Amino acid sequence: MFFSVFHFHCASLLFPFNHFPSLLLSAVHGLSSVPQCFFFYSSSLYSLPWEQQRHMILRPGLQLDPLAMPALIWPHQPLVRTRSSPASTSLPAADTQLQVIYNCVFPGLVYDGQMQKHQCTCGDNSRHPEHAGRIQSIWSRLHERGLRNHCERIRSRKATLEELQSVHSEKHVLLFGTNPLNRLKLDNRKLAGILSQRMFVMLPCGGVGVDIDTTWNELHTSAAARIAAGCVTDLALKVAQRELKNGFAVVRPPGHHATHSSPLGFCFFNSVAIAAKQLQQKLNVSKILIVDWDIHHGNGTQEAFYNDPSVLYISLHRYDGGNFFPGSGHPSEVGAGAGEGFNVNVGWTGGLHPPMGDAEYLAAFRTVVMPIAHEFSPDVVLVSAGFDAVEGHSSSLGGYKVTAKCFGFLTRQLMSLAGGRVVLALEGGHDLKAICDASEACVSALLGMEVSCVCARLLYTGVSTDLCCMLHLLITDCGFVCQVEPLSQSVLDQKPCENAVLSLQRVIRVQGEN
């Protein structure tokens, strides 16, 4: 359904990525400031013949001849039909968003060392790809690069049992959200029946898990999972209320595979889904976009909002005909009931022949993600930021070749939405260098700067580089110069592989039909 009316957003199909941000920035000031040609180019990609679709996907810098664009009358209703405007909202009005952005200087970071205690009782992290070293390494990298100094660290907390139950069943919450100590405060009669149903498996390493991959530590797992959910929730609430500019949550265990009543794939509680529910319930947020770029489909997040038209879920993942974990995420899974059309799966096919990389992910954002997201016009953007598509992961854990720089670039694209209210929450990713590089790139993007920067107007006055970076966030015309190489023009202009073209055409066709 989202390809019925792209408004001005489909210009992403027609302009190379290096021109796209400036066009989107002008749109923030209001539609009246957007050039008329921008509207003319906003016809749906779905309206084009099959071969012309291919041509546009393969040519990121292509500008179509306006006279060649077909005029169609669409058989279904535009997005205004959705019931997504509340009677009141605590979010700033659209015409005040730019002013508020510059009053709100700092991105937020959240981290808690207690999450490291969730580990297999075997004590051998080398046998478990999801281990404490993941978040410890990322947190250290952000410190080494000086990025933590430019962000505001918020206090961590455990999600309450009530918050967990906004997504998960009471049984699931009591099974996996309590430990021997806090169970003493709960109803023993209720707990006795539920705990007797808990099933564990013995792992080859000698430890205990809820399945062959998902380890369980009776003393620490429940606390770590609740802290992860609480951290993401509070970060999202603060960003939505403009207490923070945007944010990045360095958390574990991940969450996007956890369903209403089952843990799965290292996940116990779906932190991003819980945060979205709390935005709805506590702040009456009207429209939430969840972008999931973990290489594995977020089956739990899809399930949580499959019938909800106020949450748009877009996932980019390795699908391969359902043969890659968890096997869900076919493009035909578009939502149900009132939520039909609000679930978008970019399920890559073709295995690793060749592996998907920057060109393919840029094409997906250009032709699917950003046009749909702009049409939806979210109030807040949540990102399930798994980095297992970053080059460096084995074929069993991913095998793709997306660069860390590309994820920083995609983060900047998402910052053009929702007045910049973007929150990234760590999901998967197991190669330590890859996830550290990607986290660094994304936090740099959230800051509006690269890892190292100078302010041309201030350096010669003797002001420190750190202060220059801070002042850049306050002074929009400060002569800011990045010293870190962005994505090269050759990468931005690279054509996606044939398997990616076919995958994107399939998504476009399905969305056009719905």
**pLDDT band at 394; cut points 50, 70, 90:** very high
Domains: count for the chain: 1
Domain annotation covers residue 23: yes
- pLDDT at 12 > cutoff 50: no
Helix, strand, or coil (residue 422): strand
CA-to-CA distance for 176 and 159, rounded, in angstroms? 13
The answer to whether residue 28 scores a pLDDT higher than 60 is no
Residue 257 annotated to the active site: yes
pLDDT at 332: 98
Helices 221-240 and 271-283: angle between axes, nearest 10 degrees: 40
Q: Which of 42-51, 86-95, 207-216, 463-472 has the lowest mean pLDDT?
A: 86-95
Residue 470 maps to a domain: no
Let me know the angle formed at the C-alpha of 513 by 507 and 514, rounded to the nearest 5 degrees.
90
CA-to-CA separations, 164 to 168, 266, 278, 378, 460, in angstroms, rounded: 6, 17, 10, 24, 52
Q: Is residue 90, in this structure, part of any structural domain at all?
A: yes
Determine the straight-line distance between the first and last CA of the chain, rounded to whole angstroms: 4
Of the ranges 15-19, 165-169, 247-251, 295-299, which one carries the lowest mean pLDDT score? 15-19
pLDDT of residue 514: 76
Q: What is the DSSP string of 170-215?
A: HHHHHHHS--TTGGGGS-HHHHHHHHTT---EE-TTS-EESSSS-B
Report if residue 327 sits inside a domain: yes
443 with 111: CB under 8 angstroms?
A: no
The catalytic position among 257, 317, 374, 472 is 257
Instruction: Identify residue 251 by its one-letter amino acid code.
Output: V
DSSP-derived 3-state class of residue 31: helix
Q: Where residue 159 falls among pLDDT bands split at 50, 70, 90? A: very high
The residues, ordered by sequence, that sit 6+ positions from 427 with a Cβ below 8 Å of its Cβ are 254, 255, 256, 272, 292, 294, 298, 384, 385, 386
Whether 467 shows a pLDDT value over 80: the answer reads no
Asked if residue 37 has pLDDT above 80, the reply is: no
Indicate which CATH number applies to the domain containing 414: 3.40.800.20
If we measure between CA atoms, which residue out of 373, 427, 420 comes closest to residue 246?
420
Mean of all residue pLDDT scores within the chain: 80
pLDDT of residue 488: 87
Per-residue pLDDT of 272-282, as tens digits, reads: 999 999 999 99
Cβ–Cβ contacts within 10 Å for residue 136, how many? Answer: 17
Higher pLDDT: 20 or 51? It is: 51
Q: Which stretch of 18-27, 164-173, 233-242, 472-481 has the lowest confidence by average pLDDT?
A: 18-27
Let me know if residue 63 belongs to a domain: yes
Residue 100 inside a domain? The answer is yes
pLDDT confidence of residue 55: 61
Residue 47: per-residue pLDDT: 57
pTM over 0.85: no
Query: What is the residue range of 273's domain?
Result: 9-450+486-513
* CB contact at 8 A, 148 and 142: yes
Which of the pair, 201 or 228, is modelled with greater confidence? 228
Q: Which two tokens stand for residue 172?
A: 């699931």
pLDDT for 42 equals 35
Which range is least confidently modeled, 57-61, 469-473, 492-496? 469-473
pLDDT of residue 48: 62
Whether residue 347 is contained in a domain is answered as yes
pLDDT at 105: 65
Question: What pLDDT is attached to residue 486?
Answer: 78
Q: Using an 8 Å Cβ cutoff, are 341 and 311 in contact?
A: no
Inform me whether the pLDDT recorded for 212 exceeds 90. no
